[in-house]
């Protein structure tokens, strides 16, 4: 896959310029997220990079997500912005430092052992949303300690015994003080990511073959983190797989529990039980957004799972305006898939999102810099977002909605 030329994505803010002058090593070595991706490719064990970087099929969905964002042009207005604008946002009644968050990711510990804890800590310090996934590497309770003010939780469908496990995890979220509960709707079937398969991560059994061992030994930083944090595991599900269950037994348990996409009736039951903000993740059609709102859903998360499920989907940026128009002021619109810079954040905000999330960017950051990665990704994104807003003459993120935009890929839908 081609790297986008870093220089085209970077809009350098005053803070960044000051950092360069002050010799900030991270900013001079990794001035954009694309540099982190390159470093991650060099430093991570091969299987770890392939796990985080690969998509469905031949990565066509990932390329389309990037191209869709790249194609969005914004016409600036001058004479209105004397200084860098603030980027704080309010989402579901809470204030966050920027319209940028960490989405749910399963198995990030494969990419960097301890990844979830590092991302949760960095999000709490920066005051941006951190979403723990059903198959994340720390428990809900651990995450609540690390990120008490910014914790969201994502659930996959687990329908066995009348959704017993899903409701049990929801109960734990309630007790732990999770603020936002997210139901992922865009994984109706399990699909194949070839790059994962060929490195030995696609099957139902995990075994460390000679190639994998060789890769691990070639990445001492990764090995050290493994030594500190132990083997990645399905922390939230593990305790239900039976006492002393082996890694493969836990994997099999998770696979047998998780499956299918939530139906509208099931979503209504979760809405009934969760009294705080409820979000549907993976919405791509205005009609589905409308249906969600009719059930009292608070947030519509426009996403194609970062191109990891099926490569024929449009780039979410291309359906975002239609979904946002349908939603209006009735719910919060969230966006992800392809975000690799603060400029991408501003593009999505300008096209109707209230906040954006970046998945692979955080994993590349971890791969390049280990524990320091998530903070650097957040710093870059926030600085770039502020600079981009300032550059187009928007005084706040909300102000970016009134700019003139050329959006060649925008899809139109029949009226709902």
Ligand X SMILES: Cc1cc2nc3c(=O)[nH]c(=O)nc-3n(C[C@H](O)[C@H](O)[C@H](O)COP(=O)(O)O)c2cc1C
Strand partners, 301: 281, 334
Query: Smallest distance from the beta carbon of 29 to ligand X, in angstroms?
Result: 22
Query: Smallest distance from the beta carbon of 76 to ligand X, in angstroms?
Result: 26
Strand partners, 295: none
* Active-site residue set: 305
Nearer to ligand X, 113 or 359 (CB): 359
Query: Smallest distance from the beta carbon of 316 to ligand X, in angstroms?
Result: 9
Query: Smallest distance from the beta carbon of 92 to ligand X, in angstroms?
Result: 18
Question: Which phi and psi angles does 42 have, rounded to 5°?
Answer: -75, -35
SS (H, E, C) 281-349: EEECCHHHHHHHHHCCCCEEEECCHHHCCCCCCCCHHHHHHHHHHHHCCCCEEEECCCCCCHHHHHHHH
**CA separation for the pair 364, 359 (Å, rounded):** 9
Q: Which residue has the closest beta carbon to ligand X?
A: 359
Window contacting ligand X (CB under 6 A); options: 17-25, 67-75, 166-174, 355-363: 355-363
Q: Are 400 and 77 in contact (CB under 8 A)?
A: no
Q: Which residue from 34, 25, 77, 310 is spatially nearest to 190, judged by alpha carbons?
A: 310
Nearer to ligand X, 96 or 153 (CB): 153
* 101 contacts ligand X (rule: CB under 6 A): no
Binding residue for ligand X (CB under 6 A) from 37, 229, 271, 308? 308
Binding residue for ligand X (CB under 6 A) from 9, 16, 154, 388? 154
**CA separation for the pair 40, 386 (Å, rounded):** 26
**CA separation for the pair 147, 179 (Å, rounded):** 11
Query: Smallest distance from the beta carbon of 248 to ligand X, in angstroms?
Result: 19
Nearer to ligand X, 306 or 397 (CB): 306
Give the chain's count of helices (H) and strands (E). Answer: 21, 12
197-226 footprint of ligand X as x/- string (CB under 6 A):
------------------------------
Interacting residues with ligand X between 28 and 67 (CB under 6 A): 52, 65
- CA–CA distances in Å: residue 130 to residues 94, 109, 205: 13, 16, 29
Interacting residues with ligand X between 317 and 346 (CB under 6 A): 336-339
* 373 contacts ligand X (rule: CB under 6 A): no
**CA separation for the pair 302, 316 (Å, rounded):** 6
Binding residue for ligand X (CB under 6 A) from 16, 32, 142, 184? 184
Nearer to ligand X, 187 or 327 (CB): 187
* 299 contacts ligand X (rule: CB under 6 A): no
Window contacting ligand X (CB under 6 A); options: 197-205, 344-352, 354-362, 377-385: 354-362
Q: Which residue from 321, 297, 286 is spatially nearest to 416, judged by alpha carbons?
A: 286
**CA separation for the pair 85, 393 (Å, rounded):** 9
Query: Smallest distance from the beta carbon of 346 to ligand X, in angstroms?
Result: 15
Interacting residues toward ligand X by CB under 6 A? 52, 65, 103-106, 133, 135, 154, 184, 281, 303, 305-306, 308, 336-339, 358-361, 363
């Amino acid at each position: 896959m081609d790297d986008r030329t870093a220089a085209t994505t970077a809009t350098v803010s005053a803070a960044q310029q000051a950092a360069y002058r002050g010799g900030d090593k991270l900013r001079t070595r990794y001035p954009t997220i694309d540099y982190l991706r390159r470093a991650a490719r060099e430093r991570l064990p091969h299987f770890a990079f392939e796990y985080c970087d690969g998509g469905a099929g031949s990565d066509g969905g990932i390329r389309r997500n990037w191209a869709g964002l790249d194609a969005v042009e914004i016409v600036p207005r001058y004479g209105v912005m004397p200084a860098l604008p603030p980027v704080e946002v309010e989402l579901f009644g809470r204030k966050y430092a920027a319209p940028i968050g960490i989405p749910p990711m399963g198995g990030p510990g494969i990419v960097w052992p301890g990844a979830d804890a590092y991302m949760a800590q960095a999000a709490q310090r920066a005051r941006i949303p951190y979403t723990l996934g059903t198959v994340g590497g720390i428990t809900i309770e651990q995450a609540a300690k690390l990120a008490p003010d910014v914790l969201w939780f994502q659930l996959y469908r687990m329908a066995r015994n009348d959704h017993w496990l899903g409701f049990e995890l929801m109960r734990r979220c309630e007790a732990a003080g999770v603020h936002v509960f997210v139901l992922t709707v865009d994984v109706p079937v399990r699909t194949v990511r070839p790059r994962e398969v060929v490195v030995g991560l696609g099957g139902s059994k995990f075994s460390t073959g000679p190639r994998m061992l060789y890769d691990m030994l070639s990445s001492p930083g990764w090995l050290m983190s493994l030594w500190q944090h132990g083997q990645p595991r399905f922390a939230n599900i593990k305790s239900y797989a039976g006492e002393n269950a082996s890694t493969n037994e836990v994997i099999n348990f998770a696979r047998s529990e998780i499956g299918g996409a939530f139906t509208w009736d099931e979503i209504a039951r979760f809405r009934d039980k969760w009294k705080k903000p409820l979000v549907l993740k993976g919405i791509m059609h205005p009609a589905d957004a409308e249906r969600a709102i009719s059930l009292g859903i608070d947030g519509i998360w426009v996403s194609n799972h970062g191109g990891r499920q099926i490569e024929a989907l449009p780039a979410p940026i291309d359906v975002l305006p239609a979904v946002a128009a349908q939603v209006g002021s009735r719910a919060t619109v969230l966006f992800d898939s392809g975000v690799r810079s603060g400029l991408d954040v501003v593009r999505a905000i300008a096209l109707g999102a209230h906040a954006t999330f970046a998945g692979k960017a955080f994993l590349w950051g971890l791969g390049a810099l280990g524990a320091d990665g998530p903070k650097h990704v957040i710093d870059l994104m926030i600085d770039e977002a502020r600079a981009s807003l300032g550059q187009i003459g928007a005084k706040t993120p909300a102000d970016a909605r009134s700019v003139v935009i050329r959006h060649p890929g925008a899809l139109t839908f029949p009226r709902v």
